[in-house]
Chains A and B, each alone.
Chain A
Amino acid sequence: MERESNVDGFFMNRRDFLKKSSVLGAAGLTLGTGVPKAKAAGPNDQIGVAVIGTGAQGTVLLNSLKNIPGLKFHALCDIWEYNLKKGMSALRGTGTRPNIYENFEEMLEKEKDVDAVIVATPDFWHAPHTVACLQAGKHVYCEKMMSNTLDGAKSMVKAARESGKLLQIGHQRRSNPRYRFVLDKFIKETPLAGRIVNVNGQWNRSLSKSQDITIRKASLLIPKEKLQQYGFQDMRQFLNWRWFKGLSGGPISDLGAHQIDVFNWFLDAVPTSVTASGGRDYFKDREHFDNVMSIFEYDTPEGTARAFYQVLTTTSAGGGYFERFMGTEGCIKISENPSFTKIYREPEVDMEKWKPILGKGLLRQDKATAPAAAAPSAGTIDVRESAPLAAYDIPVVLNKPAHQPHLENFFEAIRGDASLNCDGEHAYRDEFAIHHVNKSAEQNERVVLKPEDYEI
C-alpha cells in the first residue's frame, strides 16, 4: 500500500489556518475551491482514451494527457495494482474515474467508447498491445521503441495500414517546438551550420541511477504465476525489463532511440551502415550491454555524414544528453533540456550570413561569448588565451511538459486537424538501424543497411 504523507497539515487547528491564510492571500497566493476550468471540447467532441501501462512512463504521459482539453479517460490497464493506483492518482482533478483492468483484451472487449489507446508498456508488449488495439478499431499512441523485434515493429505498421487507424510512436522530440524551429529555420531555411558532416550524441546516466530495482515488501509482489502469464520470469524481470533480451533492446533502444531518431530526422536520411562496440563492462550479469558506442554512416543529399552515438550507464560525465550537428560553418547542439542547447559559429564564417537571423531575433548571442569590444587593428595580432566559439541561444520555449505537444499532435490528427509528426511508417525506418546496433557489437562487425532493407 502506498504510504501517504506523514502529516496531515501543519496547523494545530484547521480553522486557524484558513483564518490566517488571508495574510498569505494578501501576499499573492490564495486557496481556491472554484469550478474546474472549462474544457475546450463539448461532450460530443470528446475523445475516449484508455492507457495500457501506468508505470513510470505511463504516469509521465498521464500528467501531460490531463492537460489536453477534450479527452475522457475511460480505462487504465496494468498488471500491477501499485501502478494502477499511481495512474488513478495522476488523474485526480480531471473529474473522471476510469475503469481499471489487468487484462487488455478484457478492456478492449468492454470499453466500447474508447477511441484512442496510449500504450506505455515494456517494449516486448508494444506490438501485441498495439496490433490488438488497431484491430479493435482504436487509434494508438505507442511509446518508443516500437518493438523489441523488427517483426514486431513490422506487424504494427501492417496493422495500422489494414485498420486505417492512426499510429503515433512516442518520439516526442518530433513535436517539440524548439526542435522543429531549429530544423525549419537553421537546417532547412538558412543552413547555419553549413554542410553537416558529422553528428554526435549521447545519453550518459550515472551508476547510482542504473542499478537494478528490487522490491521486498511482500504486499507489493505480483504472484509468480501472474508474472509468467504476462511474460516475466519474476519480479526482478518485471521491474528491470530494460536489461533483458526478449523484453527490450537494452540501453541503446531505451535511451538511444530518441536521439538516433533525431539524427535521421535532421539529416533527412537513414543510415547506410552501423558499426558498434558494446559490452557488459560493469554489470556483468546483465543480458544487454551496459555501455554501447556506435557509428552510423549516412548518404545525405549533401554527401556523406558520419554520426557517433554513445549510451553509458556507468557515468553521468560528458554533459548529460544531447544531439550535436557539426557542420562546416557551425555547430547545432540541441537537447530536450534547453540548458544543453546552443548554436556555435565557426570563427571564419562571415557574420553577414548570421546578421539577418540575429536581426529578426531568431537567435540570441550568449553573453559569455559576445565578441570583445575592441577589435585589433589591421596587421596586428593580440596574443591571449583561445577565444571560445561564438555561441547563441534559441529563443523558443516549450511551456508544457515534454511529452504534451506530441500527444496533442496525436489527438489533433484524430480530429483531422493535423498529420502525425511520427507515424508508424516513419518510425519504423528511423528505428530500423537501432535494431542492428546490438547485432553489430555482438558480432564485432560493420552491418550494411540497403535501401530495400527499410521497406515493409
Chain B
Amino acid sequence: MSETMRQRFRDEAMATHFEILFDHPDRERCGSLAALAFREVERLESLLSRFMQGSDIYRINNLQKGESIGISNECHECLLMAMELGVLTNGLFDIGAGCFMPLVRDDEGRSIQSGEEEWTFARRRREEGRFIIHEDRPEVSCEAEGLVLDLGGIGKGFALEVIDRLLSDFDDLNYLLSAGGSTLLARGFSSSWKVNLSGESEGFSIDLKNESLSSSSFETQGAHIIRLGYPSRESHRKRVWVKGPNAALCDGLSTAFLLMDRREIKEVISDLSFEISVWEEGVEGDINLLTVLRA
C-alpha cells in the first residue's frame, strides 16, 4: 500500500482522538466517509458516556430500585458485549466499577489516593447494586441501587465496530480506524494494513486485515485499571496487545489481560469462539507472543 495514497482524518471524541486512514487517492471521497464516521462517534458518545446527562448510561446509573428504562440498540448491544466480557474474565472486566473511579482519579483525570473508609463504602455500594440487562429487548431494570456503569474499557472499541458497519454500508474502501491510538480496526477489502507493536525497547510489525488490535498498558492507563476483589500482586507485564475479529472484544480483553496471569488468559481464550492473538511486553521490555487459538 503506497503511503502517498493514504488519506488521514482526525477528530476528538470520547475524551480521546479518533483517527481514520484510507488507502485511496480521492481525498474528497475519503473525507466524506470520515465525516460520516465522526458524526456517528459524536452520536454514540451521547448514548454511552456516563458523564453526559440524558445519555443511556447516565440514565441507567440514576435508576432507582424497581425502575426500568428503554435504551438505544447501540447501548444495549454494548452492554451485552460487556457482560460477555465480564463472564469470560470471571468478573475481572467489570463495567460496574464506575463507582471506584472517583477514588482513583480526580475531576481533571489526575491519579489520587483515597482512604480505606471510602473504598469500603464504594465496595459495599458496588456489592449491593444490581441491574438487569434484558436480553430480548433494549431495556434495563434496577433491582438495587449502587452500581455505576462505566463503558470506558469497551466503549471506544465498540464505537469502532459501529463506525465500521456504517462505512461498509456506504462504500467499499480500505481503511484503518483508530480510537486513541490504542484500539485499531482494519478493513481491507483488497489489502492489509501494517501496524507496529512497539514496546519500550522492542517492537515489530504485523499485518491487519478485517480484524482489530488493542493495546493496554499501565503506563497510559495507570490507576484506571483496578483489580477489584482480587489480592493485589505485582504485574507480570507492562503492556498487552490483543488481536481478534472484534474491536470491542479486543479493547476489553486487553484491559483484563493486563491483570491476569498466563493461566487465566489461556482459560479465557479457550472459551472464545474465534481466533485471537495475544502479545505481552514483559517487565524487562521483551515482547512475547503468548498464544494463538484457532477455533
* Contact yes or no, B132 A30, CB < 8 A: yes
B249: which of A7, A27, A213 is its contact (CB, 8 Å)?
A: A7
* Contact yes or no, A30 B139, CB < 8 A: no
Distance, CA A303 to CA B123, complexed state (A): 57
The yes or no answer to B102 lying at the interface (CB within 8 A) is no
Q: Using CB atoms, name the residue of chain B closest to A65.
A: B70
Q: Using CB atoms, name the residue of chain B closest to A219.
A: B169
Distance, CA A25 to CA B15, complexed state (A): 30
Shortest B17–chain A CB gap in Å is: 11
A7: which of B10, B36, B274 is its contact (CB, 8 Å)?
A: B274
**A27 and B34 in contact (CB under 8 A), knowing A12-B295, A217-B171?**
no
* Contact yes or no, A31 B38, CB < 8 A: no
The yes or no answer to B182 lying at the interface (CB within 8 A) is no
Give the residues from 36 to 60 in chain B that come closer than 8 angstroms, CB to CB, to chain A.
36, 38-39, 42-43, 51-54, 58-59
* Contact yes or no, A400 B59, CB < 8 A: yes
- Selecting from B81-89, B191-199, B213-221, the interface stretch reads B81-89
Shortest B6–chain A CB gap in Å is: 16
* Contact yes or no, B70 A89, CB < 8 A: no
- Selecting from A128-136, A203-211, A413-421, the interface stretch reads A203-211
* Contact yes or no, B88 A11, CB < 8 A: yes
Shortest B45–chain A CB gap in Å is: 11
- Selecting from B90-98, B200-208, B284-292, the interface stretch reads B90-98
Q: Mark A25-62, 1 if CB is under 8 A from B, else 0.
A: 01111111110110000000000000000001000100
* Contact yes or no, B31 A32, CB < 8 A: no
Give the residues from 403 to 450 in chain A that come closer than 8 angstroms, CB to CB, to chain B.
404
The yes or no answer to A215 lying at the interface (CB within 8 A) is yes
The yes or no answer to A233 lying at the interface (CB within 8 A) is no
A215: which of B171, B249, B274 is its contact (CB, 8 Å)?
A: B171
Distance, CA A209 to CA B32, complexed state (A): 9
The yes or no answer to B266 lying at the interface (CB within 8 A) is no
Interface residues on B, range: 35 or more
A residues near B127, Cβ cutoff 8 Å: 28
B residues near A216, Cβ cutoff 8 Å: 29, 170-172
The yes or no answer to A146 lying at the interface (CB within 8 A) is no
Distance, CA A381 to CA B49, complexed state (A): 45
Shortest A50–chain B CB gap in Å is: 19
* Contact yes or no, B171 A30, CB < 8 A: no
Distance, CA A12 to CA B276, complexed state (A): 13
* Contact yes or no, B132 A21, CB < 8 A: no
* Contact yes or no, A214 B32, CB < 8 A: yes
Shortest B280–chain A CB gap in Å is: 21
B residues near A220, Cβ cutoff 8 Å: 169-170
Distance, CA A350 to CA B173, complexed state (A): 62
**A398 and B84 in contact (CB under 8 A), knowing A32-B135, A215-B170, A216-B172?**
no
* Contact yes or no, A9 B84, CB < 8 A: yes
* Contact yes or no, B141 A32, CB < 8 A: yes
B residues near A92, Cβ cutoff 8 Å: 73, 137-138
A residues near B168, Cβ cutoff 8 Å: 3
The yes or no answer to B226 lying at the interface (CB within 8 A) is no
* Contact yes or no, A208 B54, CB < 8 A: no
Distance, CA A66 to CA B70, complexed state (A): 7
* Contact yes or no, B273 A11, CB < 8 A: yes
Q: Mark A81-107, 1 if CB is under 8 A from B, else 0.
A: 010000001101110000000000000
**A-B pairs, 3 with minimum CB distance:** A93-B137, A32-B132, A211-B35
Binding site for A on B (CB under 8 A): 9-12, 28-29, 31-36, 38-39, 42-43, 51-54, 58-59, 62, 68-70, 72-73, 77, 81, 83-88, 90-91, 94-96, 126-127, 129-139, 141, 146-147, 161, 164-165, 168-172, 245-246, 249, 270-274, 295
In the assembled complex, 13 residue pairs joining A and B whose CB atoms fall closer than 8 Å, in A order, are A6-B245, A10-B88, A10-B271, A11-B272, A13-B271, A20-B90, A29-B86, A30-B130, A30-B131, A34-B141, A36-B134, A92-B137, A217-B172
